[in-house]
């Protein structure tokens, strides 16, 4: 089943220099394992391909039901140097929530995950 992160999580983002920081938090505690399993460092790097030019680092925060991603090279030098529209990285959380993950049907149904509207 195709699942949009927007339907199972919320996110916050910010910056430090040239690195955007994105926290992804499960809307329900039982959905955290889905995030931890299917929102990998590699998948996030693929999602932001062409927008960041550095590494993606992932931290797991199971006690908060959250993942945290550092997107190195995302801000073209940061707030004081960048000519990007969003040099502080505020939109990276919204952009990550647009990502669609593939979850096996049996897992998705057992956890009552909402199917992506376009995939239903």
Of residues 17, 25, 6, the one with CA closest to residue 67: 25
Give 120's contacts (C-beta < 8 A, 6+ positions apart): none
Q: How do the domains of the chain map onto residue ranges? A: 2-119
pLDDT in tens, 106-118: 999 999 999 987 6
Of residues 68, 3, 69, the one with CA closest to residue 31: 3
Indicate whether 86 pLDDT > 80. no
CA–CA separation, 31 and 86 (whole Å): 30
Indicate whether 82 pLDDT > 80. no
pLDDT in tens, 20-51: 899 999 999 999 999 999 999 999 999 999 88
Indicate whether 62 pLDDT > 80. yes
CA–CA separation, 40 and 31 (whole Å): 15
CA–CA separation, 59 and 41 (whole Å): 9
């Amino acid at each position: 089943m195709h699942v949009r992160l927007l339907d199972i999580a919320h996110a916050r983002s910010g910056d430090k220099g040239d690195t955007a920081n994105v926290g992804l938090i499960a809307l329900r505690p039982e959905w955290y394992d889905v995030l931890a399993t299917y929102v990998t460092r590699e998948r996030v790097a693929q999602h932001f391909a062409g927008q960041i030019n550095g590494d993606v680092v992932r931290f797991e925060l199971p006690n908060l039901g959250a993942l945290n991603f550092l997107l190195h090279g995302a801000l073209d030098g940061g707030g004081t140097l960048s000519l990007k529209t969003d040099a502080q990285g505020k939109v990276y959380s919204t952009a990550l929530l647009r990502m669609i993950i593939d979850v096996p049907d049996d897992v998705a149904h057992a956890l009552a995950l909402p199917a992506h509207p376009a995939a239903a």
